Amino acid sequence: MSIDIKTVDRIAELARLEFDAAEKEKILADLNRMLAFVDRLGEINTEGVEPLVFMTDRENVYRDDAAISSTTQEEALMNAPRKDMYYFRVPKVIK
């Protein structure tokens, strides 16, 4: 399989990109080099190799979902620029 300038133009159009002639030639060479690499991967003997679902055999280590409070209300309000006795004060946003 090979890519031509017409295909590069179509890809650029779909991606809403503009390239000059030199850039198109470079992109054409890069795309053809990528396709050649993928074609070479098809030559590898994969007989007896099972498909991977995940790239590693590690399993997730989950922790208990326990609600804990790490900051007290006083600590949270300590550096507030404007505060009420128990709440943050913010400018009114709804008229």
CATH number at residue 31: 1.10.20
**Which pLDDT does position 27 carry in this prediction?**
96
pLDDT digits (tens, 9 = 90+) for 23-81: 999 999 999 999 999 999 889 998 998 888 888 878 888 888 888 878 888 888 888 89
Structural domains in the chain (count): 1
Is residue 95's pLDDT more than 90? no
92 domain-assigned = no
Written in H, E and C, the secondary structure of the chain is CCCCHHHHHHHHHHCCCCCCHHHHHHHHHHHHHHHHHHHHHCCCCCCCCCCCCCCCCCCCCCCCCCCCCCCCHHHHHCCCCCECCCCECCCCCCC
The range of the structural domain enclosing residue 30 comes to 5-41
